[in-house]
Structure 1
Amino acid sequence: MTFTKTTEQSSKYEHLEKMSVQELLSNINQEDKTVPYAVEKALPQIETLVAEIVVKMKLGGRLFYIGAGTSGRLGVVDASECPPTFGVPFDLVNGIIAGGDKAIRRAVENAEDNATQAWIDLQEHDINENDVVVGIAASGTTPYVIGGLKACNENNISTGSISCNAGSPLSQTAKFPIEVIVGPEFVTGSSRMKAGTAQKLVLNMISTASMIQLGKVKGNKMVDMQLSNSKLVDRGVKMIMGEIPVSYEEAAELLKKYGSVRKAVDNYNGQ
């Protein structure tokens, strides 16, 4: 298969600087509307990767995202939101970005071109055969990500990928590749736009579906969420009231006593 970077092809829109704000926003929105349909075509690939992640996590494994630039930042965001949302340990889902944490805010020159650094970064987390490593790269050509997955493959660690070009070197490296083909960007080559949106949607699916499969959601509620602010405490109290016949004040006391919605409800039902 011939590899073509559709994410780098010229935008189908010309003379952007001559467009009004309304025209710019309308055209960007038109392009954005195509992204969920591109994700839909990749659902079978996403399902296969999620199934592998769940199997590995049930064996005590963890999930790692590795990426550079926008892709790396998206992985860090998804990983960082799992503990507060699902009440899981902070090291269950991990985001690693080329150049280290300082690269989250500011680009680190040439970090993505180092093909050996990702494996070094992963080894700091005592990576092992129960873990799954997902490489994220819109282009599908980032050396940092590809090098990391190659090293994982050599060490019998399950690998997945999320890219936005068909038949990329990254997809050929990953055991469980996901390709979301979004086409040329509104601003030529600006893969933080449609490609970034696609990656975010897929990451939402991977982490959410995996956590639900692991029992971290009951009904449709985040019963294990961390109660880190007043909004979440109020939500937790109302979730308890929806499960057991208690007043707001009684639910608040149960939540304070047991520390989570799940434990509050389980202990009440056990009385």
Structure 2
Amino acid sequence: MTAYADLRAQLDALTTEAFRPELAEIDRLPTLDIARTMNAEDAAVPAAVAAQLPQIAAAIDAIAARMARGGRLVYAGAGTAGRLGVLDASECPPTFNTDPAEVVGLIAGGPSAMVTAVEGAEDSKELAEADLAALGITELDTVVGVSASGRTPYAIGAVESARARGALTVGLSCNAGSALAAAAEHGIEVVVGPELLTGSTRLKAGTAQKLVLNMLSTITMIRLGKTYGNLMVDVRASNEKLRARSRRIVALATGAPDEEIEAALTATGGEVKDAILVILGEVDAPTAAGLLSSSQGHLRAALARTR
């Protein structure tokens, strides 16, 4: 069998690459009918994610345990999967006040691959190994390989290299029995079925990956004390919109009048979590900072120590 024929056989076996003859004339349908068909396809994605919730939760608990000890969360993927990882990582600093080095997105081919395909990058396990070596991956870190097919060499190489270094590994794919899931300690396989456009895994598979990545980062941050209830108390007020959000969060958490909120935020240098503790715990800003530090940043635990 030639290399081309072998690759074709591999793709033919993937659910994400399957051809759907019932949609062979979709281009002849009215636009509204195409939109309805596509919307119905997308509606099936959450159920596919729900089927993997136990695996997702187990991965999150393991990630949070390592991050609590100073570890990092690293996503590694190619193409759409890589872009989704970079997107999720880039949202963590403004949302949870994480250091940019705490949650990292690696895409095969480097930053330029965010907008332009880099020839051959996704086919290189060696490139993944080099990217992880540059980060100095250790046993405290977690590497999440992301690949719709579950066979992308870059994602598999990242997981294999990370596991060899003692890091926690997660494999997120959209095909059952994937090589990626088999290579990782925690396999998450969200089987969304064939795409509306044959093999276009930026569609349902991309949506599924985005939903799972949302869970991995968000719930990990909840477990690390980055929220108070459903309030983003570690939000970084880097612009006027976020400064207004900071004031609103303190108001929702405390019910205090505007003057007291402004005074608390001023005293704490704009730190939302500290300001809430100043108001609810009736302590000064330095005491609030000390209580949060000794409570590993968990606001509920810090508040409990003021009573």
Give the TM bin, normalised by the shorter chain: over 0.9
C-alpha deviation, 1:18, in angstroms: 0.4
- The 5-angstrom pairing of residues 115-194 of structure 1 reads 115-194=125-204
Name the amino acid aligned to 2:29.
M
C-alpha deviation, 1:255, in angstroms: 2.2
- The 5-angstrom pairing of residues 186-265 of structure 1 reads 186-244=196-254, 246-258=256-268, 259-265=270-276
TM-score (norm 1): 0.95
- The 5-angstrom pairing of residues 83-98 of structure 1 reads 83-98=93-108
Consecutive unaligned residues of structure 2, counting only runs of 5 or more, are 1-9, 285-307
Aligned to 2:17: 8
Tell me the distance in 2 between the aligned counterparts of 1:38 and 1:128. Answer: 32
C-alpha deviation, 1:245, in angstroms: 5.0
Aligned to 1:60: 70
C-alpha deviation, 1:257, in angstroms: 3.7
What is the percent sequence identity of the aligned residues?
46
Name the amino acid aligned to 2:165.
N
Name the amino acid aligned to 2:141.
D
Q: Indicate the larger mover: 55-64 or 12-21.
A: 12-21
Q: Indicate the larger mover: 156-165 or 241-250.
A: 241-250
Runs (4+) of structure 1 exceeding 4 A deviation are: none
Secondary structure of 1:88's aligned partner: coil
Aligned to 2:291: none
Taking a change above 3 Å as real, the CA distance of residues 10 and 94 of structure 1, as seen in their structure-2 partners, is same
Secondary structure of 1:116's aligned partner: helix
Q: Indicate the larger mover: 198-207 or 168-177.
A: 168-177
Task: Figure out how many residues of one structure are paired with residues of the other and give that number.
Answer: 270
Name the amino acid aligned to 1:125.
L
Tell me the distance in 2 between the aligned counterparts of 1:209 and 1:10. Answer: 36
TM-score (norm 2): 0.84
**Match of residue 82, structure 2, among 62, 72, 75:** 72
Tell me the distance in 1 between the aligned counterparts of 2:228 and 2:245. Answer: 14
Tell whether the 8 Å contact from 1:238 to 1:248 is kept in structure 2 after alignment.
no
Secondary structure of 1:162's aligned partner: strand
Q: Indicate the larger mover: 236-245 or 116-125.
A: 236-245
C-alpha deviation, 1:237, in angstroms: 0.8
Secondary structure of 1:36's aligned partner: helix
Consecutive unaligned residues of structure 1, counting only runs of 5 or more, are none
Q: Larger % of helix: which?
A: 2
C-alpha deviation, 1:203, in angstroms: 0.3
Taking a change above 3 Å as real, the CA distance of residues 142 and 245 of structure 1, as seen in their structure-2 partners, is closer
Tell whether the 8 Å contact from 2:137 to 2:165 is kept in structure 1 after alignment.
no
**Match of residue 61, structure 2, among 25, 28, 51:** 51
Tell me the distance in 1 between the aligned counterparts of 2:201 and 2:152. Answer: 13
* 2:8 counterpart of 1:22: no
C-alpha deviation, 1:254, in angstroms: 2.8
**Which structure would you say has the larger Rg?**
2
Name the amino acid aligned to 2:135.
H
C-alpha deviation, 1:225, in angstroms: 0.3
Secondary structure of 2:56's aligned partner: helix
**Match of residue 267, structure 1, among 252, 272, 278:** 278
Higher relative contact order (CA 8 A, sep 6+): 1
Tell me the distance in 1 between the aligned counterparts of 2:255 and 2:123. Answer: 58
Tell whether the 8 Å contact from 1:182 to 1:194 is kept in structure 2 after alignment.
yes
